[in-house]
Amino acid sequence: MNLSQNFNPLPTALDVEAAARRIADRAVETPLLEWPALNEWVGGRVLVKPELLQRTGSFKFRGAYNKIKHLTEDGGGKGGVVAYSSGNHAQGVAAAAQLLGLPAVIVMPADAPTIKLANTKGYGAEIVLYDRLKENREAMAEEIARQRKAAIVPPFDDPDIIAGQGTAGLEMARQAKARGIDLDAALLPCGGGGLISGSTLALRAAWPELSVYACEPATFDDTRRSLLAHSRLAVEPGAKSICDGLLSPMPGQLTFALNERLLAGGIAVSDGAVRAAMAFAFRVMKLVVEPSGAVALAALLSGQFDARGRSVGLVCSGGNVDPELFARCLEQAGEISPAK
Amino acid sequence: MNLSQNFNPLPTALDVEAAARRIADRAVETPLLEWPALNEWVGGRVLVKPELLQRTGSFKFRGAYNKIKHLTEDGGGKGGVVAYSSGNHAQGVAAAAQLLGLPAVIVMPADAPTIKLANTKGYGAEIVLYDRLKENREAMAEEIARQRKAAIVPPFDDPDIIAGQGTAGLEMARQAKARGIDLDAALLPCGGGGLISGSTLALRAAWPELSVYACEPATFDDTRRSLLAHSRLAVEPGAKSICDGLLSPMPGQLTFALNERLLAGGIAVSDGAVRAAMAFAFRVMKLVVEPSGAVALAALLSGQFDARGRSVGLVCSGGNVDPELFARCLEQAGEISPAK
């Protein structure tokens, strides 16, 4: 029994490096991309990590595989795994469990995007639907885990998940350094805060002065407000956003402890700015970015982050979006003009 | 005066390497991507060169920049450049001319996709529209070139264009080798044949036994039929296809001379297979691929090319598609099942 795990100590940059070794044979090393048109648009240098190219279409596979692989290395996971997720973590856990030969049960909202439900089923997981407004998904997952003697794979507030998700930032740092580029700042999507806290551990190990900003939907800017208040605050009850992957109501305990220490601040973006960013990604970058995956790009393109003369790392975190919603977002997106 | 240029000798793999050096400071080195889901789907290893990530959203920039840069190195181009194109070559020439400080006039069909017209204008080119069914675009371009003492930048049948477009294949070979992968075969889109002839020069210099297949719309399979007939054949008059970038009526003289010597054959794909490939790229690969850019992927996914147990290079050549057409293609695409 690993005592330190029970205390859930905060992961470090070394844990992110260990995670990178653990997932190397299964995760995709996504490229670090650059577009002359985007650089001209913002007057700086933007290096994009397109995690939509990751296995399962989002960064979530990194954390899920790291967690479940670690579990099996320690002799656990024999009863399978259970997770609750709006969709991308669901796919990450289902795919990771399948690769490791474990059964998986995923508790998903009944209104999750069709593509996320279908893919999760496609990776062989059993799906249990819940009503987002009436039922407590965590309690449901815990009950299932108890019955099956299965292990819970939390979406973000867990050292192995944070370290695994942080490998996106570690790769970004290594890829930029390999090209002789030093980053001044980074913009990352933030829901529960796993991706950004883990990535920032690695990014600030590479560049101690780097400023990292949490990008969130305006109605779910709990991390931005919590950073200002130095205390975890929840979102308004009943808040809505098209960013179906960023609807967590409050920063995680571990993720916020890290983020409070590491982040420079938060940027809140409107659903309109998200649609405009998705349309820009379609038109200029030729990438399919889901709403939640586009918040950092939205922060940049809406002019809320000034990239002039700077080298900025940016994560587009996922691309699992139904074609109907995608088409509607492009249709409704207004024209963007370069922020001057 | 360079005599050898007037005889238009066939370019060699060395010319492709020279082109790669000439365009290195301006072209994007697009990554070589792999998807576990695609590999599983076809039972082989597929390495995709996404030229939609190239400057201007297609491989055409490579040829245009190589040609115009070479022209200026030889003291030419003072009167600017003129090109005729359905859209991607137009953007490539306009962007290359802009970077090199030359005026550009592009003769474009009045029914070209809006995104291609808008982008070409955006790169500072003057656009002259023509009626695809009634007017001769080559004669129009020659008249403009004569009046302005400008140089024509042909879309494919030119040694510098072939060598420049072939840098996509050269990069593919270098990137695969750097990862210790030997390719058995390659699938590339083929319109006039510049991309595939130039790329195959480089690919077969790397792997002399490699089999390369020209992928074409079924209604524009002039290269496939010409290869079988050992003679350049034209398409049926009035032929139509959603692949607006692959509507050239006959193989080029230079490109066919190379392709006849270098290619293993041709594969013709239906518009339906193209839509299904675009939908697969959206759903699994998260890439925006235009119809013409998806023909090689369509050849693979439709089961017309058997990738089982092989390592296959594949080019997705462009991503300039209007959102309305893109949405319609996804909507009309049938479900694909893995070809077994």
Identity of the amino acid at B57: G
Nearest CA to B320 among B247, B245, B261?
B245
For the stretch A72-88, pLDDT in tens is 998 988 899 999 987 89
Structure tokens at A84: 């609750």
Q: Which residue in the set A35, A53, A331 is minimally distant from B33, CB to CB? A: A53
Asked if B55's CB is within 8 angstroms of A286's CB, the reply is no
CB pairs under 8 A between A and B: 66
Q: Which of the residue ranges A19-23, A112-116, A184-188, A219-223 would you say has the lowest mean pLDDT?
A: A112-116
Q: Quick one: average pLDDT of A295-310?
A: 98
Structure tokens at A332: 């409704």
How buried is residue A181: exposed, middle or buried, by Cβ count under 10 Å (0-12/13-18/19+)? middle
User: Which residues between 51 and 70 in chain A have a beta carbon less than 8 angstroms from any beta carbon of chain B?
Assistant: 52-53, 55, 57
Closest Cα in chain B, distance from residue A289 (Å):
7
Please state, as a whole number, how many other Cβ atoms lie within 10 Å of the Cβ of residue B238.
7
* Whole-number pLDDT of residue B336: 62
- Please give the mean pLDDT across all residues of chain B: 94
Asked if A37's CB is within 8 angstroms of B28's CB, the reply is no
- With cut-offs at 50, 70 and 90, classify the pLDDT of residue B7: low
Neighboring chain A residues of B61 at a CB cutoff of 8 Å: none
Would you say residue A4 has pLDDT above 50? Answer: no
* Whole-number pLDDT of residue A338: 54
Distance CA A126, CA B230 (A): 56
For the stretch B263-288, pLDDT in tens is 999 999 999 999 999 999 999 999 99
Map out the domains of chain B with their CATH numbers.
3-58+160-332 (3.40.50.1100), 61-158 (3.40.50.1100)
Dihedral sign for Cα A282, A287, A293, A298, please.
negative
Percent of chain A clearing pLDDT 70 (strictly above): 96
Task: Specify whether the CB–CB gap between B193 and B259 falls below 8 A.
Answer: yes
Neighboring chain A residues of B330 at a CB cutoff of 8 Å: 323, 327
pTM of the model: 0.95
Distance CA B67, CA B54 (A): 17
* Whole-number pLDDT of residue A9: 87
- With cut-offs at 50, 70 and 90, classify the pLDDT of residue A336: low
- Please give the mean pLDDT across all residues of chain A: 94
Identity of the amino acid at B46: V
CB contact, 8 Å: A250 with chain B? no
CB contact, 8 Å: B34 with chain A? yes
Task: Specify whether the CB–CB gap between A254 and A15 falls below 8 A.
Answer: no
* Highest mean pLDDT, choosing among A1-10, A195-204, B330-339: A195-204
For the stretch B159-215, pLDDT in tens is 999 999 999 999 999 999 999 999 999 999 999 999 999 999 999 999 999 999 999
Nearest residue in A to B316, CA atom:
A286
For the stretch A28-51, pLDDT in tens is 999 999 999 999 999 999 999 999
